[in-house]
Amino acid sequence: MKCRHCETQLAHTFLDLGFAPPSNAYLTEADLCIPEKYYPLKIKVCEQCWLVQTEDYTQADELFQPDYAYFSSTSSSWLAHAARYAKEITELLGLDKTSLVIEVASNDGYLLKNFVAAGIPCLGIEPTESTAEAAQELGIPVMREFFGKALGQRLAASNQQANLIVGNNVYAHVPDINDFTKGLAAALRPGGTITLEFPHLLQLIKQAQFDTVYHEHFSYLSLFTVSRIFERAGLRVWHVEELPTHGGSLRIYGCHAEDLRKSTSTVSLLLDLEKKSGLQSLDTYLNFQPRAETIKNDLVEFLIQQKRAGKKVIAYGAAAKGNTLLNYAGVKPDLLPFVYDAAAAKQNKFMPGSHIPILAPEAIMTEMPEFVLILPWNIAEEVKQQLAPKLPTNTQFVTAVPHLTIT
């Protein structure tokens, strides 16, 4: 397999999680009678551009179910994050009713509704029917398509170049990152700004966040690699911020290569930090697998101990990262009988692979668990605050990554 950015032959495996079903293929009761498809879940690293990427496998198209529905508005902390961003960027760029804001992967309108409220014209791009529909109901125009070079050029040709293009948690999920980036360049007005948020590879490595690996997540990105991809598409990163979201993300600010804005010192400082942290040395990547194994072993040991002690452990949050963790660890309902989740679309379904039933959070009270394993550790505090009043005072909360923690 060749690198998706620079086409160097990929020779090194960063992480091998065996085989797993697609992390968002939640199952109905009827699905449980049908064989489930498993795909290899292996991550490679490119020695030339240091792009960390999923290994190619056949039938990749099957992974993207048209009815897959994650509604961003489910998370109140994410909504607050989006509202804060909209306010800050509007002031920074001086956006007004003559501007155009395009969001790629606009989901259910969780972000663009803030621009609508401020009277700033916007356009969402979102191929998923159900979320696109929810956004349109909020008054947001949505194009139901995948974004890439061809769509970027069509937007330019129809006088719809943007002052601001936003991409939150989409950049790492696109299979052809070069084509997507060329699309950004084509759809950006001269003098315009691109902001992209994605989980930072540095945090994945530092905090052993191996459970953020799943098939639909094609790239694991550093500023170094993104700067190279931007450069090749005629763009430049001129500013970067570190964010706490998703266990540590970057928000990069991009512009056309010939833009007169000077790059801020944040860019060179972070590039230095990445280099000093070993993101451009092969050993860093080759030493990662044993850390994932330790986390897996500690979790399995904990679940078996509690089972033997007659204590009940249930899980909260049917997130993609939970599926990666549970399937890698081989956990089944005998050790973890239920997962509770606030998203109605997932309730009364089953986790892919592990087949653990997913229930509405209201049902958690009747279980009286001794332990609640929070699978989306990135929103652990929010979950604890919501659940604590509903549970017995002696209930303890558990997170597995970066190491088993019981509070």
Chain residues in the site for Zn ion (CB under 5 A): 3, 5-6, 8, 46, 48-49, 51
Which of residues 228 and 384 has its CB atom nearest to Zn ion in the complex? 228
The 3-class SS string of 71-100 reads CHHHCHHHHHHHHHHHHHHHHHHCCCCCCC
CB of 12 to Zn ion, least distance (A): 11
Which of residues 5 and 182 has its CB atom nearest to Zn ion in the complex? 5
Which of residues 4 and 200 has its CB atom nearest to Zn ion in the complex? 4
Distant-in-sequence, close-in-space partners of 329: CB < 8 Å, separation ≥ 6 = 296, 299, 300
CB of 6 to Zn ion, least distance (A): 3
List, in sequence order, every residue forming a beta bridge with 237; answer none if it has no partner.
254
Cα–Cα distance measured from residue 57 to residue 60, given in angstroms and rounded to the nearest whole number: 6
CB of 216 to Zn ion, least distance (A): 20
Distant-in-sequence, close-in-space partners of 81: CB < 8 Å, separation ≥ 6 = 245
Cα–Cα distance measured from residue 317 to residue 163, given in angstroms and rounded to the nearest whole number: 37
CB of 4 to Zn ion, least distance (A): 8
Which of residues 46 and 325 has its CB atom nearest to Zn ion in the complex? 46
CB of 1 to Zn ion, least distance (A): 11
Cα–Cα distance measured from residue 101 to residue 72, given in angstroms and rounded to the nearest whole number: 19
Which of residues 232 and 384 has its CB atom nearest to Zn ion in the complex? 232
CB of 46 to Zn ion, least distance (A): 3
Which of residues 223 and 320 has its CB atom nearest to Zn ion in the complex? 223
Q: Is 245 left (phi over 0), alpha (psi -120 to 50) or beta?
A: beta
CB of 50 to Zn ion, least distance (A): 7
Cα–Cα distance measured from residue 184 to residue 188, given in angstroms and rounded to the nearest whole number: 6
Prior bond to 402 cis, omega within 30? Answer: yes
CB of 172 to Zn ion, least distance (A): 15
Which of residues 44 and 246 has its CB atom nearest to Zn ion in the complex? 44
Structure tokens at 23: 């992390």
Cα–Cα distance measured from residue 256 to residue 265, given in angstroms and rounded to the nearest whole number: 18
List, in sequence order, every residue forming a beta bridge with 127; answer none if it has no partner.
none
CB of 48 to Zn ion, least distance (A): 5
Which of residues 187 and 233 has its CB atom nearest to Zn ion in the complex? 233
List, in sequence order, every residue forming a beta bridge with 35; answer none if it has no partner.
none
Which of residues 46 and 375 has its CB atom nearest to Zn ion in the complex? 46
Query: Strand order of the sheet with strand 162-168?
Result: 142-143, 122-125, 101-104, 162-168, 188-199, 249-256, 235-243
| Residue 126, CA distances (Å) to 76, 108, 140, 269 in order | 21, 9, 11, 34
